[in-house]
Amino acid sequence: MQKMDVSQFKDRYKKKFQERFAFNYENATKQEQFVALGHLVKDLYSSDWKETVDTYQENKQKQVYYFSMEFLPGRMLKSNLLNLGILDVVQEGLAELGLDLDEVASGEMDPALGNGGLGRLASCFMDSLASTGLPGNGNGIRYRYGLFKQKFIDGHQIELPENWLRNGNVWEVRRENKAVTVRFGGQVSLEPDNEGNMHVTYHNTQNILAVPYDTAMVGYQNGTVNNLRLWSAEIPYGEEYLFPTEEERNGVKQITEYLYPDDSNYEGLLLRLKQEYFFSSAGVQSVVRYFKQLNLDWSYLPDKIAIHINDTHPTLAIPELMRILMDEEGLSWEQAWEITKKTISYTNHTILQEAMERWSIDMMNLLLPRITQIIMEINRRHIEKKTPLYGEDLTNRTAIVANGEIKMANLAIIGSHSINGVAKLHTNILINHTLHDFYLMYPNKFNNKTNGVTMRRWLQISNPGLTDLLDETIGTEWKTNANDIILLKAYAEDKEVLARIDAVKLENKKRFAKYVSEEMDIEIDPNAIFDVQIKRLHAYKRQLLNVLHILDRYQYIKDNPGVDIPKRVFIFGAKAAPSYHYAKQIIKLINAIAEMINNDSSLNDLIKVVFVENYGVSLAELIIPAADVSEQISLAGKEASGTSNMKLMANGALTIATMDGATVEIYDYVGEENIYIFGMSNEEVQKLNAANSYNSREIYEKNPAVKRVLNMLIDGSIPGLEDEGQDIFDSLVKYNDEYYLLKDFDSYINAHKQIDKDFRNRETWNRRALLNIASSGPFSADYTIERYADEIWKLGAQREPEDLI
């Protein structure tokens, strides 16, 4: 890309604006100002985009296709500017034009095409693939409506549609000429031809056109621009199609209309299955079409293509690839099977049983008759081959088809060459418990790839103050080699640097406090401890434990008026799945407590509770740099990895945590003095489960602090609650506290008391913040991606035709 100076930028921007809107930029809305800038930026990377795609093809380079039902890219303007190396030029240029970059950037919609960590991980990976110069593309769904927009009315979560495309989307390019057809329903017949080869014929199918929209994934100042391809469902056109009825039109539109708003908890809905097949099939078809242009024998497919399935949602890519290779390209089952297994790899993101996808065979058969035949045959062969080796019991436990259902994780494992967990502890749990039977069969398929986050968005863009501090102390090498952040350790005793860490944090806290004041009408003191829990609302994540601590603290302050403890602001950001009643009750509870506490002047502002509405990537960028304390308090063994833990650490928050997910690795890097660990370990949880002796009511009866806090839920102390208080109380006392909150209560409270003490000593606290920042380098997604590329996708070491001879 050609470099541009400030004055060139200004000229181009004015011209671009004029071209698009035919009036002056000064009179425009933020959204219009953004659109013009977006188009300008797109012009700047378009030649690199084309060149990257051409080069991959000319060199016949092996490429990975990351199939994911969710992507959560966040606003892309600043990320593109940063990666193109023109963030400063544009910021300055806009300022000279009387515009503020942050204001203009807020004119972009934040596309919420994902629920939470899983979708955000996919987007961090896209950024890292391009930024490390690796040939990697995304494949997903262009949802018309992303995740719902959350509103609080009387403290209750209300879901509104998020029409993120209403003003168009600057970044995408519609590629109708690359559309493919996806077939649903109907019947199939298999008939032999004269030579005895089987031919598949489809009857009465519903054909849907999958139209790709491509978005550039710009690498960090390296000229690489990869592709994120999102598919939209449309009515096929052409002479063979009659004009569709309204019902048909709606049926088609529906397929890519909504993102399913469930995280870790999926409903068996026909529409969702349609979505899964829709983007898996479209993706596989386009990959195969690309491979055919290379003019290689089919056996080279795994040498040129890697397909990665992000959780089980795209698992139908396995039977789809089998179908295409056999039915359309004439390969034998054995050939197709070898190629498929070598091409596909799978990441597991959760061990929660309710999140393990299963589909009824009847539903699958109705919707995808040929795919169902193939799945049944994969299963039949699996059982036939493994039973003599592993016996009937074990083999049957690994069956894909059982009790009228198809188990997607089993299909994903059997039909791929690699399965990975997302943190060391998670992978160990998969190997030793959840997927142990499979581990016995395929020990070499299992591996760990601890998650990572892109430091570009989560440090450089969201925390410019800290970025400058790093540049001025350790140089700029950390921006391409995050492990260099460790060099900051050398400044751990430097009082001036420690004071700057403090000042940067304070600035970020003021920025967030301003938002809270303007948007929520709550005043918070930037000198208070900002204690942050931001993630989906789920019982296993134990936001409720955080609430119990708040209530305990409330009681303590009430009992001890004038007590001298640091002020705390408890900050929550969380959406609950619309059908997840209990999670929504907890949202209501937090809002009711916020109302009670924030309006109680007798508390002297010692506690405040801020529950931001509509938490998403953009709000995360505002909150994370302002955090002092990072809450990672899931029941040990339940959180596969977590990724907000990494972002918060990199921004200098100290973590209070159970030994769960990737937090265990944070502990290893940062050292026990710089993190607050509490509660049961995974082993202790397992033991307690096995002993079957837990009695939460006993804790309630015997522990006065627990009793007092829990009673508040039911004695009318918290105004505005209806059934929520009683239901939540019952979940903890009557129904034996599934996630062991009461068991971990005391140690959690004690850890927080320690935080109060430690926060007082600013210098020590800042040193520990510094050590957290310094230890965060290994969590850069660039490294995670390099490990996927080397160990799973083998992007560097593909076999060339000569190697065969």
> Least distance in Å: CB of 399 to ligand GLS?
24
Query: Is 346:412 a contact under the CB 8 Å cutoff?
Result: yes
Is the CB of residue 358 less than 8 Å from the CB of residue 268? yes
Considering only the stretches 153-161, 292-300, 334-342, 349-357, report the one whose residues sit in contact with ligand GLS under the rule CB under 6 A.
349-357
- Using CB under 6 A, count the residues that bind ligand GLS: 17
Among positions 121, 513, 524, 713, the unique one binding ligand GLS when judged by CB under 6 A: 121
Q: Could you give the 3-state DSSP secondary structure of residue 666? A: helix
- Can you tell me the distance from the alpha carbon of 164 to that of 108, in angstroms, rounded to the nearest whole number? 9
Choose the binding region for ligand GLS from 71-79, 162-170, 347-355, 486-494 (rule: CB under 6 A): 347-355
Question: Is 536 among the residues known to form the active site?
Answer: yes
Q: Which residues contact 308 (CB under 8 A, 6 or more apart)?
A: 64, 65, 66, 67, 344, 345, 346, 347, 788, 792, 793
Under 8 Å between Cβ of 655 and 676: yes
Using CA atoms of 709, 711, 716, 718 in order, give the dihedral in degrees to the nearest 10.
Answer: 20
Q: What are phi and psi of 633, to 5 degrees?
A: -120, 25
541 is an active site residue: yes
Which of 108, 110, 172, 263 forms a contact with ligand GLS (CB under 6 A)? 263
- Contact status: 116 vs ligand GLS (CB under 6 A): yes
Which of 16, 541, 567, 575 does the annotation list as catalytic? 541
Dihedral sign of CA atoms 621, 622, 623, 628 in order: positive
Catalytically annotated residue among 456, 457, 647, 767:
647
The one-letter amino acid at 797:
A
Q: Is 35 a binder of ligand GLS (CB under 6 A)?
A: no
CB of 449 to ligand GLS, least distance (A): 9
For ligand GLS, which stretch binds (CB under 6 A), given 207-215, 480-488, 634-642, 729-737? 634-642
Residue closest to ligand GLS when measured from CB atoms? 117
Token duo for residue 783: 């490294």
- Min dist. Cβ of residue 427 to ligand GLS (A): 12
Answer yes or no: are the C-beta atoms of 225 and 218 closer than 8 Å.
Answer: yes
Query: Of the candidates 131, 350, 379, 418, which one interacts with ligand GLS according to CB under 6 A?
Result: 350
* Least Å from the CB of residue 440 to ligand GLS: 25
Q: How far is the CB of 263 from ligand GLS (least distance, A)?
A: 5
Question: Is 643 an interacting residue with respect to ligand GLS (CB under 6 A)?
Answer: yes
Closer residue to ligand GLS (CB): 118 or 657: 118
What's the token pair of residue 359?
Answer: 């589909």
The gap between the terminal CA atoms of the chain, to the nearest Å, is 41
Considering only 31-39, 53-61, 113-121, 603-611, which stretch makes contact with ligand GLS by CB under 6 A?
A: 113-121
List binders of ligand GLS among 412-441 (CB under 6 A): 422
- Strand 206-218 versus strand 172-174 pairing type: antiparallel
Q: Does 641 bind ligand GLS (CB under 6 A)?
A: yes
Place of tokens 């799978």: 346
Other CB atoms closer than 10 Å to residue 527's CB: what's the count? 12
Does residue 118 interact with ligand GLS by CB under 6 A?
yes
Which residue is catalytic, options 10, 16, 274, 536?
Answer: 536
The minimum distance between CB 578 and ligand GLS, in angstroms, equals 16
Taking the least distance from each CB to ligand GLS, the nearer of 641 and 731 is 641
For residue 16, indicate whether it is catalytic.
no
535 is catalytic: yes
Q: Please report how close the Cβ of residue 54 comes to ligand GLS at its closest, in angstroms.
A: 33
296 burial (CB, 10 Å; 0-12 / 13-18 / 19+) is middle
Q: What distance in Å separates the CA atoms of residue 545 and residue 742, rounded to the nearest whole number?
A: 8
Q: What is the DSSP letter of 132?
A: T
- Residue 618 interacts with ligand GLS (CB under 6 A)? no
By CB under 6 A, residue 117 contacts ligand GLS: yes
- Strands 198-203, 156-160: pairing is unpaired
Catalytic member of 427, 643, 663, 784: 643
Among 451, 591, 772, 776, binds ligand GLS (CB under 6 A): 451
The token duo for 166 is: 């209403």
Burial of 389 (0-12, 13-18, 19+ CB in 10 A): exposed
Q: Which of 226, 264, 427, 674 binds ligand GLS (CB under 6 A)?
A: 264
Residues 458-487 that bind ligand GLS (CB under 6 A): none
Residue 421 C-beta: closest distance to ligand GLS, Å: 9
Interaction of residue 642 with ligand GLS, rule CB under 6 A: yes
- Alpha carbon distance 345, 64 (integer Å): 10
Q: Name which position in 48, 552, 639, 744 contacts ligand GLS (CB under 6 A).
A: 639
| CA 623, chain centre distance (Å) | 17
Residue nearer to ligand GLS on the CB measure, 355 or 619: 355
Cβ 732 to ligand GLS shortest distance, Å: 23
Please report, as residue ranges, which positions from 351 to 370 form the binding site for ligand GLS (by CB under 6 A). 355
CA distance 648 to 627: 7
CA distance 351 to 356: 8
Q: Length of the chain, please?
A: 805
What amino acid positions are annotated as catalytic residues? 349, 535-536, 541, 643, 647
**Which residues bind to ligand GLS, rule: CB under 6 A?**
116-118, 121, 263-264, 349-350, 355, 422, 451, 639-643, 661
